[in-house]
Amino acid sequence: MLEMPQDEQAFAIVDLIYEAAFADELWPEVLGAASAISRSASGAIFVFSDQSPVRAITEAHVQPLLDEFMAGDSWKFSESVQRMCSTQPASFVRVDDFMTGEEIERDPVRKSATAFGAGSHVCTSVPMPGGEFVLFVFQRWLKDGIYDQAAIDRLDELRPHLARAGVIAGRLGLERAKTAVSTLREIGLPAAVMSGSGRVLTANPLLEDMAHVFLPTAHGGIALANEPANALFQQAIAQNRDNRIVRSIPVPGTKGRPALVVHLLPLRRAAHDIFSGADILVSATEVSLCATVPSPHIFSGLFDLTPAEGRLAVALAAGRSVHEAAIEIGIAVKSARTYLERIFRKTGTSRQSQLVALLKSARAFS
């Protein structure tokens, strides 16, 4: 994979990520590919939930370290673990930047990693609308020094795809699902699989019971009942065929019903086979009342915004002008306008009024 041109390599890793969402045995390969482009020794995934024990998976050559990490309760007293769980960084960050030297020195997990030969760590959190969250952690060998920004940027380019796949992997418990029917049942989410043209091939009863959200259309398609959300939904289906756009779309709650996030994920390679040749998975996650995700994190998670873009989005949704928002979050107006153009592209909008209306519809997720 490393000998491929950079664009082809990136596409190959992204395809592998979506394949691994339904085939847990491929996660070590995903982590290995991400490690290779970031000069990491290894990577690992941890799924945290109030309803079940912590689940984790890593690359084979560091499995003994993960087994030791998970075997006892020492990780529960690790300041690095607790710091990342409480901070829930919306992009990859160097863990040591959030800790003092004394904390690093006494941390039991870091002591174990150092004895194994591992040094610098980077981490990101993917909060799920249901309250659970996934941590993606990468580490370097001590001899390779700390992570530079270029390596972190390469991991951040993969983060939106890791986040979408993490929604499904987290619900499946990182366990292999073998058929379309069993997969949709085991996800525990309203879900359907579609052809590239938008025709529904199969849906589970949870989605079929959501007639107030999903409407049937001609030729076996579906639409969202909320018009602004449906415009993004139909656009995402069309763009998925052309350039692999992946999108999460907020659907405001109505008449006492909770707000939702509708996710579209491309089905690649083995996942494509698992779903009998389907091209897109559509799933809906309800926003839990106990979810404590700050507004910038919600916007970042929904629309793949960077932390700075997320802060600008929050200010705009609060009614600030671009100039006022730039002052509020401490950036130059020129930078704010650059961020705004990126936000337009990521949210499928073209005007500030249209963007603000969309962001206000997502404010229920705060």
What is the pLDDT, as a whole number, of residue 137? Answer: 94
What is the pLDDT, as a whole number, of residue 25? Answer: 83
What is the pLDDT, as a whole number, of residue 298? Answer: 63
Phi, psi at 200, each rounded to 5°:
-75, 125
d(CA 279, CA 15): 12
**pLDDT, tens only, 29-56:** 999 999 999 999 999 988 877 666 777 8
| Tokens encoding 48 | 């945290």
Q: Which amino acid belongs to residue 301?
A: G
**106, containing H or E segment:** helix 101-106
d(CA 355, CA 83): 34
Q: Which amino acid belongs to residue 168?
A: I
- Which residue in this structure is represented by tokens 């992997």? 169
Convert 35-50 into a string of H (helix), E (strand) and C (coil). Answer: HHHHCCCEEEEEEEEC
**pLDDT, tens only, 243-284:** 555 577 878 777 777 778 888 888 877 777 777 668 888 988
Q: In whole angstroms, what separates CA 59 from the centre of its chain?
A: 20
d(CA 217, CA 354): 25
Q: What DSSP designation does 256 have?
A: T
Q: Are 99 and 89 in contact (CB under 8 A)?
A: no
Query: Hey, where are the domains in the chain?
Result: 6-172, 180-286, 295-365
**pLDDT, tens only, 275-314:** 766 888 898 877 654 443 345 666 666 677 887 888 898 8
d(CA 207, CA 177): 19
What is the pLDDT, as a whole number, of residue 333? Answer: 94
Alpha helices, H only, 195-332: 205-208, 227-243, 269-274, 295-303, 307-317, 322-329
Q: In whole angstroms, what separates CA 15 from the centre of its chain?
A: 15
Angle, nearest 10°, between helix axes 108-116 and 79-87? 110
CATH of domain 6-172: 3.30.450.80
Long-range contacts of 248-252 (CB under 8 A, 24+ apart): 248/164, 248/301, 248/302, 248/303, 249/224, 249/302, 250/302, 250/358, 250/361, 250/362, 250/364, 250/365, 251/213, 251/224, 251/226, 251/284, 252/226, 252/361, 252/362, 252/364
Could you report the average pLDDT of every consecutive run of 10 residues in the chain (366 residues)?
55 86 86 94 84 79 78 74 85 92 86 87 81 86 94 91 79 61 74 87 89 90 90 84 67 76 81 76 70 54 76 84 92 93 79 73 48
Q: Are 125 and 88 in contact (CB under 8 A)?
A: yes
- Which residue in this structure is represented by tokens 């890593």? 58
* Same CATH fold assignment for domains 6-172 and 180-286: yes
Q: Are 123 and 136 in contact (CB under 8 A)?
A: yes
Which residues are 121's β-sheet partners? Answer: 139
As its CATH architecture, domain 295-365 has Orthogonal Bundle (1.10)
**137, containing H or E segment:** strand 133-141
Q: What is the CA radius of gyration of the chain?
A: 20
d(CA 38, CA 32): 10
What is the pLDDT, as a whole number, of residue 175? Answer: 56
Query: Which option is the CATH number for 180-286: 3.40.50.150, 3.40.920.10, 3.30.450.20, 3.40.980.10?
Result: 3.30.450.20
d(CA 342, CA 287): 26
* Residue 244, burial from CB neighbour count under 10 angstroms (0-12, 13-18, 19+): middle
What is the pLDDT, as a whole number, of residue 94? Answer: 94
Of 361, 343, 144, give the one whose Cα is nearest residue 249.
Answer: 361
